Structure 1
Amino acid sequence: MPDDASWLRDLLERRRPDPGPVSGRWALGVGDMIADHSLTPDKLSGLLRMLNHFGGVAISEDGVEFDGDEVRWADVEEIRTRSLIEYLFTGGVDKQIDKLPLPWFPFRRKVLGAVSRAALTLLLAAAKQQLEGGALEIRIPAEVRYDGLLFDRELAPGMLAAVVLADPAVRQCLESTARAHGVAVNPAADDVMADADERAEQIKSMLSAISARIHSPGDG
């Protein structure tokens, strides 16, 4: 696995939540990732962690947050999970980290490029392993359906949040916390990956496109 991804994988492993429903609040976001990167000056780490609300996941006793948008558990009606491969296949990587509306800071372009490549690399590696039968299916909480003011709404993770949710400890924490608040967690009924065998070539093509994006000179 390229060095770009190794530090992010290590960060995820170090910051995993405890098993079971969350106590208090747990969060991991783009600010943590930027602050942890070797390109970032130590004196900026504390300030950059304030950028977490631009991207990432937060789970608390009050609610769940994807990429800065929070929904209280009292308003959540259901959480629907999708295969990680399907999430990628249906455009889940469109919310690129380097396109987040982050303010300027030193080494911004280089650091965001590194974080973007790391996130895509981790997602790609997990999807390829799953596609080749080397891992159990990874299903992420992809749709948080909740009661809006006028109609039901849906909270969905961007690419960065999906990387965090692909970690088994984070998934287990979110789902356990949801169930502790009476929220059902179910597979999406219209999971397009039900016919994954028939779409294998399309999926492989999609993964190749993601791989090309990782190695694109414009990402640095």
Structure 2
Amino acid sequence: MTVDLTKRDVPDDVPDEGESRWATATLDAMPLPGEEPWKLSIGGMLRRHPKVPRGAGRVLGLLDRFGAIEFGPDGLGFDGEEVRWEKVIEIRTRTVDDLLLGPVSESVIDQVRDRLPPVPGRRWAVRQAVQTVTALVLAARQDLLEERPDRPPVPCEIVYLGRLGGVKRIEAGLFAALCMDRRPEIGTALQAAARRRHVAVCPAAPHDLATGTAQRAKALQHRTALLTARLRTAAGRSPEE
């Protein structure tokens, strides 16, 4: 199933103009990293929503790990996985179109739905999380199709030394990547923190899914249409509360 996102009669689970504006405006207003430990998550964003239902605190607490970006003097992490700076080997970056065309966009659906138990506020939280991610996907796609030249790559992968000496990776989820794409100051601060600790920052190998501007634009339109449809399905599967 695909969705023509240029039409105005898209289904109700695609965020309307007001919800899209809330998601982007709230992200734009989030405090930027400073000297203290810093964290951004979808749960933290939804706490700022004007219609948070009573009793939704537990659900939003569980979403603090979903899509999280966090770093500070001791370490950094994505999606609730953290590592101390002294274990980090390098930080890898990707462009947001490469992330949207890659496998990271496939896991966001299950993360939104499966991390939340059937408790009061679940349906609202799932729907709002879905709409927030969808709004950011659509905003990113619009910017990408307009070929804005000022879009820096985002830090999306932490390569570090595991406990038994093996090399491991922590990859940013789609929400984290979209946040760093929209607020490039976040990724810049993370990379600056890495360089201060003599951690290498380098580009990851691009996903070999499409070549050429026209081909990538077409693939991006197809991928984001499918992703939006899957997000709508995820919202529809959440139980009534």
Q: Does 1:158 align with 2:170?
A: no
Cα distance in 1 for residues equivalent to 2:141 and 2:203: 18
Alignment partner for residue 95 of structure 1, among 105, 108, 126? 108
- What does residue 208 of structure 1 align with? 225
Deviation, structure 1 residue 10: 2.2
Q: Note the residue ranges of structure 1 that are not aligned, 5 or more in a row.
A: none
Deviation, structure 1 residue 63: 1.0
Cα distance in 1 for residues equivalent to 2:148 and 2:45: 28
Give me the TM-score of the superposition, normalised by structure 2.
0.77
Alignment partner for residue 86 of structure 2, among 53, 74, 86? 74
CA 1:15 to 1:203, structure 2 compared with 1: closer, same or farther past 3 Å?
closer
Deviation, structure 1 residue 130: 1.6
Cα distance in 2 for residues equivalent to 1:159 and 1:199: 18
Cα distance in 2 for residues equivalent to 1:218 and 1:103: 14
Deviation, structure 1 residue 127: 2.8
Count residues with an aligned counterpart: 216
Alignment partner for residue 111 of structure 1, among 108, 125, 134? 125
1:95 maps to a residue whose letter is V
CA 1:47 to 1:123, structure 2 compared with 1: closer, same or farther past 3 Å?
closer
- What does residue 199 of structure 2 align with? 183
CA RMSD of aligned residues (A): 2.6
Conservation of the 8 A alpha-carbon contact between 1:35 and 1:44: no
Q: Does 1:24 align with 2:41?
A: no
Identity rate, percent: 29
Give me the TM-score of the superposition, normalised by structure 1.
0.84
Cα distance in 2 for residues equivalent to 1:114 and 1:190: 31
Deviation, structure 1 residue 76: 0.8
CA 1:213 to 1:103, structure 2 compared with 1: closer, same or farther past 3 Å?
closer
Cα distance in 2 for residues equivalent to 1:193 and 1:181: 34
